[in-house]
Structure 1
Amino acid sequence: MQNVNYAIVDIETTGHSPAKGDRMIQFAVVFVRDWKIQTTYSTFIQPGKKIPFFIQDLTNISDEDVKDAPIFEAVAGDIFDMLQDCVFVAHNTNFDLSFVQAEFKRIGFPLWKGKKMDTVELSRLLFPTSFSYKLQDITLERGIQLANAHRADDDAYATAELFIECMKEIEKLPIQTIEHIHKRSFQLKHDISSLFFEALQKKRVMSKVEDLDIYKGIALLKKQLQPDPVESFTYYPETKNQKRLMFSEGLQDFKERQGQFQMMDAIWQTFQGKNEIAIEASTGIGKTLSYLIPSYFHAKQQGKKVLISTYTSHLMEQLHEVEVPKLEAIVNSKVNVAILKGARHYLDLHRFEELLRAEDESYDDTFAICQILVWLARTQTGDVGELNVSSGGQFFLDKVRKNAFSIKSSEINVHDFHSYALAQSQKADILITNHAMLFTDKHRLEPLLTNQITSFVIDEAHQFVQAANARDERIFSYTQWKYVFGQLGTRDQDQLTSSFARVLGRQGVEVTSTFEELDRMYTHCSDKFDEAVLSLVQNVSRKKTAKSHSKQTILLEELDLDFDVLNEVYHYLQRWLTIAENLLDRISTSQLESSHSEKLIVAEWQYWLNEMKIKTGEWVDIFLSSLSEHSVWIELDRRSVPGSLHVYKKPIDSTRAVNEIFDEWRGKAGIIWTSGTLSVPGNSRFIVNQLGLPEEVQIKTYSASRDFYQGANLFIVDDMPDIQHVSQSDFIEAVADAVIQTVLVTEGRCFVLFTSQEMLRRTVDLIQDTNLLEGYMLFAQGMTSGSRMKLLKSFQRFRKSVLFGTNSFWEGVDVPGDALSAVIMVRLPFSSPEEPVFKTQAERLTKQGINSFTSFALPEAILRFRQGFGRLIRSSTDRGVFIVLDRRIESKSYGKEFIRALPDIPMKKVSLEDMVLDLEHWYNENV
């Protein structure tokens, strides 16, 4: 709206609750008109009480600063007048406005009245892929200066600039997107509809035609199709001189690495002979280019694709965005590369369009729809992993993912993201995917990986074991089951079944008796389900556990299950599904006459019918199938039973699943297994055996030169308490102290690696309570929202940052340069003896007369230890310290095995105090 005054407000306070006596200490407002900053106003305010120390530390506002400042009563009139006839804007309006209103009320002023907007809500909507919406984070990402965060004047000015940036983003959106969002904007929490209306008015008078794809009124970014492969062929560089010339011409900073050319040749020869090999290549070899270069030449030679599989989406993107450009520079040619993930990674555009026309959305659904509409105008991939939605929005996102039941038609395939990814893969020389996709494709009716593939490279091969086991993982969640039941209901519960019955009735289909039977089956199934769950909970409660924690984990084989009840649940589920499918068949002939709302109800019925099929399969796999070769266990929290109840089933042997994929390719294609960690001292085939590779598969090892690790140092802190002789609280306190001191010396850039999520959480909570790292960005797995990849990207964006992670964070993370100065390993990474999969595997080995500690627990922990160290030094110029806080590395006989597994680097066993002094000296030398 032209000529509207926007008052962008920020305040600082002594705390969060005016009702408990907290008061304002600074008020700032920036006025925006015609999308330009006009004037500003800022004042300190005397709160009439001491400012808490942590607030002084946070805001850098001291008691001295406000000593001579006016009290709120003295400036309230001016503030009230300034805000009149303005739209109130803030970053978290609910806090700022409610605090201002409470202060007005306290001194007898009338409450401010007017429209309000929130830049948090706007930012979440308009930048749906951002990693964080905290003011410091989102302004940094958008290139907005914020010199002194948590000072009201600076925060208000940055918020004003962000607000203007948001309006510019709205105006960049396609008119179709703006129309959709404007229609829904009235359902959002703040008065932002006027912003979209203003943008809509501007768009409607513009003559510029936007170059977009449109699917049923939804604006999509035009897809860029990959060119056909170039037919020209260059020969693989056989000699060292040919390789040196190619690398030096392509890479400005080329430095010949020990073992890299040898690894390239080993892979090339394996490809040519259609053989299989395992390669352990330490950091510093240049492993990725060592397999990319022969892969490119082999693909060109054969006129087929080389498939490269890695573990995580982050590693896939890193390959594509960082390593492939290097490959193209070296071979001096454009390389056709495609990324292909499983269908559930992609948006189902047909399903989304159906729900876009629905009514009676929740706020979470409405907001997620708006975010997706913005994102669709910008995304090439349609990979929903790019989105940062709320937990409520995640439910909606799961509804619009592609799945096995997604509709297929030529009309949709023109715009469909999964079809686009498949089309891109058809033209690729190199196809990048993840381990999980290989297992998914094996069970596809029409496998993608048929005669198009000439060879395979399995990177992060040690993680292929985890991926193989995850393929058959099943999880039963009580709350998920109750949610599905709740969506369906019976005809008298006014849920989906009731709506579906009305649709059938309006179509003239007589199904009263069928619905009566459906309702009976639903009621029986729901009752028996509750009975089965109660039986499980009672079973667990009768088991005495050694620990007094409220959380319990029990192997299913240790319980006396009521299989009669479990079978009855399955029987009623099957009967319900049969009737429900019959009803769906009855309506399909008359659906052409249905309104959109009726078609949507039928689509919802189909969706939840499919969900019930999946749940039925879960029930059979978990409760009614053989437990051999699997670990099955129950987890619950006695404080929230049965809501916390989960049952997990995981395989313990990956060899069969691996061989299912590769047996048909052996002898027909080259197969490369590579990783930085395939072996441990004394057991070179530890991972190879877990993968079930044939004995004749050779293992080759390529290690970086000794000077590659010249910037690394190992510190073993020898005065940490022994966790076996002190309480966990005392140990956590010592860990928190060590982390704080290390971070303050190194100015952040630190990974802290835990073996327990509970210990991680308690340590981070304690560190935050001290406020000693207030100026640092703390990112904690399981605590900070966002995926593993988003946390890593967040960590890399900030110089003064610390990342706390557990085992899953230790591997496949590449942070080169000075973005990482220290890795702190809190405990040696042994699996807990009570961890169910480990316990099942250990018991199995013991029954075979094998020492489970030396053959499994110790090698597994050493591999993780090596992975933890591997995060630190990613190039020959990197410098960093690896700090071990677990005294067992020196007090236990097996400790030397961990040290042997590391490169030959300087090691010091010192007290925490001495380590901090050494670190300070080391850091000052290298700043």
Structure 2
Amino acid sequence: MNTQKYVVVDIETTGHSPAKGDRIIQIALVTIQDDEIIDTYTVFINPERNIPGFIQDLTNITNDDVKDAKPFKHYAAVIFEKMQDAIFVAHNTNFDLPFLQSELQRAEMPKWRGLAMDTVELTRLMYPTAFSYKLQDITAEVGIPLKNAHRADDDAMATALLFLQVKKDLENLPYETLALLHKRSFQLKSDLSRLFFELTQKKRDGQVENVTRFKGIPINARKRLKPLQATGQTAFDNWEERLESVFPQFERRQSQFDMMTAIQQALAEKKEMVIEASTGMGKTIGYLLPAVNHAMQTGKKVIISTYTTHLQEQLILKEGEIVERFIGSPVQISLIKGLSHYIDLPRFEELLHGEDESYDETFTIMQVLIWLTSTETGDLNELNVSSGGQFVLDKVRRSHLRKLSKLEKSYDFYEYALEQAKNAQIIVTNHAFLLNQRITEHSILADVDAYIFDEAHQVVQTAVSQHEKTFVYTQWKYVFGQLGTYDDRQLFAKFYEAAERAGFASVPELLQLESLFVKFTTLFDDISIELTNKFTAKFRGSRYKKCASLLTDLPLEKEPFVNLLRYLNEWIDLSQLMLQKAERMTEKTIEEQLAITDWRYWTEELMIKAVEFSEIFVFPLEQEVSWIEGDLRSLPNSLSLYKRPFEVKEIVEKVFGGVRGEKALVWLSGTMSVPSNERFIVNQLGIPASVAITKFDPPQDFYRGARVFVVDDMPDIQHVSQADYIESVADAVIQTVLVTEGRCFVLFTSQDMLRKTVDLIQDTGLLDDYMLFAQGISSGSRLRLLKSFQRFQKSVLFGTNSFWEGVDVPGDALRAVVVVRLPFTSPDEPIFKARSEMIARDGKNPFLNYALPEAVLRMRQGFGRLIRSKNDQGMFIVLDRRIETKSYGQEFLNALPNVKVSKVSLEKMVTDIEHWYNKHDK
């Protein structure tokens, strides 16, 4: 076989199943030889049946296009001949190849036999950080044109170009990486092992790559920042004029200049400052320029802490580049996150020596090998892996429980991030990292002169989340299943045999380890039964199946929990003792080392779980709340327990209390207050009352393109069933989407209501022409869903809590935000309940002092998604009538910018929007 010949195939069909009579309507073949496209072939095919309407819409191929074409059998011999002695390539071979084989069989041709390579699998490997592997998405990401997606000729050519690009990028990988990939490639679903073999043979000439090597694994050679020195230089000489000259399209905003001046002064005088900076005034540049200026003048570092990964990337890349252009010289900006974000290279190297347990494990290891040759950060969150692959990433995360040698530290990505931070002018990080720090003379914070918190209101939520402890029944059972007893022939049996052979543990010690394991797992089952019985008893007769209860509301005996913790801690102590002995032994086989490595990983997992178990059940702390959740239909499997603080003042004070008055602290957000409770956020953060909230508003005409609609003929949410309300919501969303032609956010407060609404909309078929992306239903992270939404002209994004804020969609990419319910937290939510009770004990009204301001704040954040510049246009649509029927409704409207509010029927709103767009499109 000539391995240099490939035939790239794409087909369009009447449906998804040849077994159900679906047929090909168009086929295209692109032949590649010696990395050149040498032939193309495309033809319409008469399927001898009607093409369904949705297929005509998708492909733009109509019945008229194929009526004069011949059936497949007329072209079968030509197609079969073109595929001879070639490797079959397609973007999802599991669809194209079976369809083609079925058509060949129907045409009484022999079955095609040969190797097949799938470019979906190939691109997932080569581009492991891409957000989507759909053909139109991945080709756009690598710069390949695809004008008419879902047309076989265009798709086949795009796939061929994609294949050539991936092949070229693979050729640029180091030889060692290719060899490691080839070793595992036999476990892949398509025949990519042949490709890796050819590439390794080609690569034997030993080309020099921009990589270093850790124990034979090529990793990206990272640039290192030089130590920071004060220049005394200022970035602010004539800075207003310079901004206008550097950026020809610069939009002068006095509020932005005023904010820069205020921050510059706060940094110089080491003051604490709270800023509310409205959307659209350029707040990122507004604090980044003064921060860089301060670092240049003083030689001291400034830390900028953000909430979202997206904003961190924006600061490093986009905004950092703008500042460098403004100053005319490089700016030293570094990024650092918490330890668990980074890959543990020694652990990954150990994993390479093992036998993979599944396709997902094999594939993820291969993705990581390729990613290591290019990643600057070593942040595992960059990778787009399957759910099974996520488990592999968790196994190779850095942990504070694992100590690295001096040599290992020299290659470690976290140590590299620390070094970069020590030499940077600006350190970009996240709230979670800062809240976990101790500000000592040896920490990276020692030389920091100022802290700027962007999205500062999120420090509250971060502090709560960072101190969360969990107890999830299925997770514990999974760990137990991985370890097992000797008779189970799981990891303990391998560890037992390795210990016997290598001599790092005696048989009595190993039997004691097994006995302790049996004791605490037996107690675990007893406790789970008790929790199930008490939980079931509390909610007997409930019409809801998914329930939650404060742990204090369930009468539980403490002794079994104490005993379980005692046995578990004894097991951990004995296991660690054995591991210490094992690590001191120099002569171990690969098999023994793998057993020890895996055992250490699961021991560390149980150490973490022991701490969480202790804090939830045995040593609960004041000002923290524990609760239990479960589905009554699947107990104990659905049991989950959580513990969180409901006050964060002390957490924030521990980290930053000592720097007040010595270093500058700037707390900045678009939503730091609500009209009826100005200090709602700052009081939670423990910011002194002497620190005022300084507000910077956008230009007067900034919101001229915004309209607010309150739909006043929606049913009252408190007086109809959920099903009736969802039906009305679905109708309102459909009509809104049709009149705005998509580009809508639909915001919910409940995942259950979101799912039911989306299901109903899909059942109607009225939005079949639109791409619907739904949080918790569509695959991918929040950022990936957002990118997918922005890729399509006619798209709708359904989101819950996390989409109410921190999402930036400028321009016409977002035309409407639909608020399904006023964003109140459920009164049964445990933390909300605990805080409300505490507020009530202080003689205050929990609704007015907590529930309402929190909901109003979230509403402001939701509105902030809509208008990002003065040229943006958009509708903010509220479907919850309580905004007009309840006395507190005006609080929500007062919190919005001064824009026109129309209280109208759904029909009138649709007409108004139509007229509004017609007027603005002229």
Paired positions, count = 921
Cα deviation 1:108-127 (Å, max 9, x = unaligned): 76543322211110010011
| Deviation of 1:926 (Å) | 4.2
Residues 84 and 333 of structure 1: is their aligned pair in 2 closer, same or farther, counting only changes over 3 Å? closer
| Deviation of 1:27 (Å) | 3.8
In the alignment, what sits opposite 2:115?
A: 115
| Deviation of 1:245 (Å) | 3.0
| Deviation of 1:157 (Å) | 2.8
Residues of 1 paired with 2:440 and 2:298: CA distance?
A: 27
In the alignment, what sits opposite 2:818?
A: 824
In the alignment, what sits opposite 1:872?
A: 866
My pick for the range that moved more, 61-70 or 450-459, is 61-70
- 8 Å CA contact 1:455–1:670 kept in 2: the answer is yes
Residues of 2 paired with 1:303 and 1:77: CA distance?
A: 75
1:189-228 equivalent positions in 2, closer than 5 A: 189-205=189-205, 208-228=207-227
- 8 Å CA contact 2:2–2:86 kept in 1: the answer is no
Name the amino acid aligned to 1:233.
Answer: G
SS for the counterpart of 2:457 is helix
Residues 1:568 and 2:568 are matched in the alignment: no
| Deviation of 1:467 (Å) | 0.9
Residues 1:7 and 2:7 are matched in the alignment: yes
In the alignment, what sits opposite 2:827?
A: 833
Residues of 2 paired with 1:761 and 1:106: CA distance?
A: 42
My pick for the range that moved more, 767-776 or 262-271, is 767-776
Cα deviation 1:368-408 (Å, max 9, x = unaligned): 11111111111111111111011111000111111102332
In the alignment, what sits opposite 1:53?
A: 53
Q: 2:753 aligns with which of 725, 736, 759?
A: 759
Residues of 2 paired with 1:450 and 1:912: CA distance?
A: 55
| Deviation of 1:133 (Å) | 0.8
In the alignment, what sits opposite 1:321?
A: 317
Q: What is the alpha-carbon root mean square deviation over aligned residues?
A: 2.5
| Deviation of 1:925 (Å) | 4.3
In the alignment, what sits opposite 1:701?
A: 695
Q: 2:473 aligns with which of 478, 485, 499?
A: 478
- 8 Å CA contact 2:231–2:299 kept in 1: the answer is no
Residues 1:643 and 2:642 are matched in the alignment: no
Cα deviation 1:520-564 (Å, max 9, x = unaligned): 111121121112112112221112278523322222222122323
Residues 773 and 203 of structure 1: is their aligned pair in 2 closer, same or farther, counting only changes over 3 Å? farther
Name the amino acid aligned to 1:163.
Answer: F
Cα deviation 1:297-325 (Å, max 9, x = unaligned): 33233321111111111111112222222
1:719-868 equivalent positions in 2, closer than 5 A: 719-868=713-862
- 8 Å CA contact 1:250–1:332 kept in 2: the answer is no
Q: 2:385 aligns with which of 380, 386, 389?
A: 389
Q: 1:507 aligns with which of 497, 502, 506?
A: 502
- 8 Å CA contact 1:9–1:88 kept in 2: the answer is yes
Q: 2:267 aligns with which of 261, 268, 271?
A: 271
SS for the counterpart of 1:671 is strand
In the alignment, what sits opposite 2:894?
A: 900
Residues of 2 paired with 1:190 and 1:726: CA distance?
A: 53
Residues 1:497 and 2:497 are matched in the alignment: no
- 8 Å CA contact 2:273–2:665 kept in 1: the answer is yes
| Deviation of 1:586 (Å) | 3.4
Name the amino acid aligned to 1:90.
Answer: A
In the alignment, what sits opposite 1:380?
A: 376
In the alignment, what sits opposite 2:548?
A: 553
In the alignment, what sits opposite 2:611?
A: 617
In the alignment, what sits opposite 2:86?
A: 86
Cα deviation 1:86-114 (Å, max 9, x = unaligned): 32222221222233344555677654332
Residues of 1 paired with 2:434 and 2:178: CA distance?
A: 40
Residues of 2 paired with 1:564 and 1:369: CA distance?
A: 44
Cα deviation 1:395-436 (Å, max 9, x = unaligned): 001111111023322212222111111111111111111100
SS for the counterpart of 1:714 is strand
In the alignment, what sits opposite 1:543?
A: 538
SS for the counterpart of 1:38 is strand
Residues 573 and 41 of structure 1: is their aligned pair in 2 closer, same or farther, counting only changes over 3 Å? same
Residues 1:656 and 2:650 are matched in the alignment: yes
Cα deviation 1:241-269 (Å, max 9, x = unaligned): x4423433443333432333332333233
SS for the counterpart of 1:289 is helix
Residues 317 and 43 of structure 1: is their aligned pair in 2 closer, same or farther, counting only changes over 3 Å? same
SS for the counterpart of 2:701 is helix
Residues 1:912 and 2:906 are matched in the alignment: yes
- 8 Å CA contact 1:650–1:837 kept in 2: the answer is yes
Residues of 1 paired with 2:240 and 2:175: CA distance?
A: 53
In the alignment, what sits opposite 1:422?
A: 418
Residues of 1 paired with 2:726 and 2:512: CA distance?
A: 58
- 8 Å CA contact 2:356–2:362 kept in 1: the answer is no
Residues of 2 paired with 1:505 and 1:396: CA distance?
A: 28
- 8 Å CA contact 1:2–1:34 kept in 2: the answer is no
| Deviation of 1:342 (Å) | 0.7
Residues of 2 paired with 1:249 and 1:66: CA distance?
A: 58
- 8 Å CA contact 2:649–2:685 kept in 1: the answer is yes
Residues of 1 paired with 2:624 and 2:55: CA distance?
A: 52
1:8-27 equivalent positions in 2, closer than 5 A: 8-27=8-27
SS for the counterpart of 1:709 is coil
In the alignment, what sits opposite 2:33?
A: 33
Cα deviation 1:493-542 (Å, max 9, x = unaligned): 22221111212221245611111111111112112111211211222111
SS for the counterpart of 2:121 is helix
Q: 1:452 aligns with which of 422, 430, 447?
A: 447
| Deviation of 1:626 (Å) | 2.2
In the alignment, what sits opposite 2:519?
A: 524
Q: 1:716 aligns with which of 707, 710, 713?
A: 710
SS for the counterpart of 1:505 is helix
- 8 Å CA contact 2:422–2:444 kept in 1: the answer is no
SS for the counterpart of 2:719 is coil
Residues 333 and 546 of structure 1: is their aligned pair in 2 closer, same or farther, counting only changes over 3 Å? farther
Paired-residue identity, %: 53
Cα deviation 1:9-32 (Å, max 9, x = unaligned): 333334333444444444443333
In the alignment, what sits opposite 2:577?
A: 582
Q: 2:326 aligns with which of 317, 327, 330?
A: 330
Name the amino acid aligned to 2:610.
Answer: T
- 8 Å CA contact 1:3–1:34 kept in 2: the answer is no
Name the amino acid aligned to 2:424.
Answer: A
Cα deviation 1:847-902 (Å, max 9, x = unaligned): 33321111111111110111111111122222222222222222222111111111
Name the amino acid aligned to 1:330.
Answer: F
- 8 Å CA contact 2:228–2:299 kept in 1: the answer is no
| Deviation of 1:232 (Å) | 1.9
In the superposition, the TM-score normalised over structure 2's length comes to 0.95
Residues of 2 paired with 1:127 and 1:916: CA distance?
A: 43
Residues of 2 paired with 1:53 and 1:388: CA distance?
A: 34
Residues 119 and 926 of structure 1: is their aligned pair in 2 closer, same or farther, counting only changes over 3 Å? farther
Q: 2:588 aligns with which of 565, 584, 594?
A: 594
Give unmatched runs, 5+ long, in structure 1: none
In the alignment, what sits opposite 2:364?
A: 368
SS for the counterpart of 1:696 is coil
My pick for the range that moved more, 452-461 or 141-150, is 141-150
Residues 1:139 and 2:139 are matched in the alignment: yes
Residues of 2 paired with 1:514 and 1:628: CA distance?
A: 39
In the alignment, what sits opposite 1:99?
A: 99
| Deviation of 1:5 (Å) | 3.5
Residues of 1 paired with 2:315 and 2:166: CA distance?
A: 32
Name the amino acid aligned to 1:556.
Answer: L
| Deviation of 1:841 (Å) | 1.8
In the superposition, the TM-score normalised over structure 1's length comes to 0.94
